[in-house]
Chain A
Amino acid sequence: GESVGLHLPTLSVQEGDNSIINCAYSNSASDYFIWYKQESGKGPQFIIDIRSNMDKRQGQRVTVLLNKTVKHLSLQIAATQPGDSAVYFCAETISGGSYIPTFGRGTSLIVHP
């Protein structure tokens, strides 16, 4: 597969563990946030989003937490599976602006069977 990044922060977990991936965003005016998953050889795929009027949002096996006070976003993956191995990006957007998202550098998640 194609490497999407060198020197990325890496999180290694065992299959079945819960994973937490963190993201610090830069703009206090950002009010819409998205997590993407990028598997080797593919483009980023949408996982879950959250608006700034919420602190928490849950999907299937994933939960996003937003702490606006410290400009921090986290993605929690429950019962991590080998298929979750990928690079995860957060993106922030200002809804009243251009709507163009700003991407974080990404975190590489490695799930060991």
Chain B
Amino acid sequence: EAQVTQNPRYLITVTGKKLTVTCSQNMNHEYMSWYRQDPGLGLRQIYYSMNVEVTDKGDVPEGYKVSRKEKRNFPLILESPSPNQTSLYFCASMKGRGELGPLHFGNGTRLTVT
């Protein structure tokens, strides 16, 4: 089944404790992206990647890191989480430049930073 898988679904952590949210897609998509979703603010893009070893900042990149060492994986790293990073996070992928198509989303990671 074609899908985007992110883990964990729920995560509670404390301020300053490094964490990684994993994302993997099995559709051979070139483009991958991370979003955060907050009440009243909609979906905001954190980082995106057009292809392996190519990453770019989105609208709200502060406090986040990503890497794209393989085509299928795009982990989101919070080196020193803070309470304002409490949010619902989505990973998404699509085919990539030159091919119009929809984003495929994972089911989300609910992060709480205390």
Contacts and interface: CB of A to CB of B under 8 A. Distances in A.
Nearest to A99: B97
Given A42-B108, A99-B96, A89 B39 contact: no
Contact of B39 (A7, A34, A43, A101): A7
Given A7-B39, A105-B42, A2 B107 contact: no
Say what secondary structure dominates the interface of chain A: loop
B78 interface: no
Q: Please indicate which of the listed interface residues A7, A46, A89, A106 has the most CB atoms of chain B within 10 Å of its own CB.
A: A46
A51 B33 CA distance: 22
A95 interface: yes
Q: Please indicate which of the listed interface residues B33, B37, B45 has the most CB atoms of chain A within 10 Å of its own CB.
A: B37
B45 A100 contact: yes
Interface of B: 4, 31, 33, 37, 39-43, 45, 48, 88, 90, 92, 94, 96-97, 100-108, 110
